[in-house]
Structure 1
């Protein structure tokens, strides 16, 4: 089930699940958790309900995934952020459902384009993005969380 973010504990769960999942899978540590906490805090304190939204995926009443749609300074562009599925929830189509929910919201909110930033090791997420027509616009190696990794920017006309 996909529901709007807004229950007590949702924000903290997003930060904790990202930090724990990516630390276990890729070794991304405290600097990565800090980035996620900053994104979540900005959403919690500054979002506009008409132009931004976030969702939680649940299985049997347990949180297992997230995604956010936030505005960019350019009023025509939305940004997809914080897509995550916990390892136990993968392979059920929930990632695709989260992305589709986010895209539908962006279209309804009047955005003309959606962008996202991801990292090359996140193959399953990239597959979902490409299947929906996102195109790679740039990539650059960074070492923000330890070992070098290729960050990738994607975009989709809505």
Structure 2
């Protein structure tokens, strides 16, 4: 699997599709979630600044198989925001997620980002394992519905030494 830095035509649709399919099947998220991912990812790509933001795509023989984003637009106040991290069903369990997270965290280190954060929820055990392996710690848990269905939301943070 090749990790590509930056936009590839069609990647917005593919990243949205991977999220929509996986989360509909595993936790019952619907149109509200898919629309949120599509809207926010599109807006991110339009304001993307390569010195501040990062987008990595895992590419295999059959196309894009995973993604992760670092949104650095508020890194000074809140920290860099890790978003849209996913591996396709076909590539899950093959180290793609670890490669994507390493690319994102190397970017943060190179930019001197002292804090990185992400929001997730408590049903994603494999992702949590990867986050913790890369130095993230659970900072807060709360009930919420930002993804269109009520879940136990989790805030994970990484503070550089």
Which category describes the TM-score, using the shorter chain as reference length? over 0.9
* Cα distance change on mapping 1:88 and 1:82 into 2, 3 Å: same
Identify unmatched segments of 5+ residues in structure 1.
Answer: none
1:35-50 correspondence to structure 2 within 5 Å: 35-50=36-51
Moved more, 75-84 or 48-57: 75-84
Shift of 1:144: 4.2
Per-residue CA deviation, residues 88-108 of structure 1 (Å, 9 max, x unaligned), is: 111111101100100000111
1:72-151 correspondence to structure 2 within 5 Å: 72-75=73-76, 77-145=79-147, 147-151=149-153
The 3-state SS of whatever aligns with 1:17 is helix
TM-score (normalised: structure 2): 0.91
- The alignment yields a C-alpha RMSD, in angstroms, of 1.6
Per-residue CA deviation, residues 22-63 of structure 1 (Å, 9 max, x unaligned), is: 112211001111211122122111121101010111222421
Count of matched residue pairs: 158
TM-score (normalised: structure 1): 0.92
Identify unmatched segments of 5+ residues in structure 2.
Answer: none
The 3-state SS of whatever aligns with 1:15 is helix
Hey, what's the Cα distance between the residues in 2 that align with 1:5 and 1:19?
22
Hey, what's the Cα distance between the residues in 2 that align with 1:74 and 1:94?
26
The 8 Å contact of residues 33 and 148 in structure 2, kept in 1 or not, is answered as no
Moved more, 115-124 or 4-13: 4-13
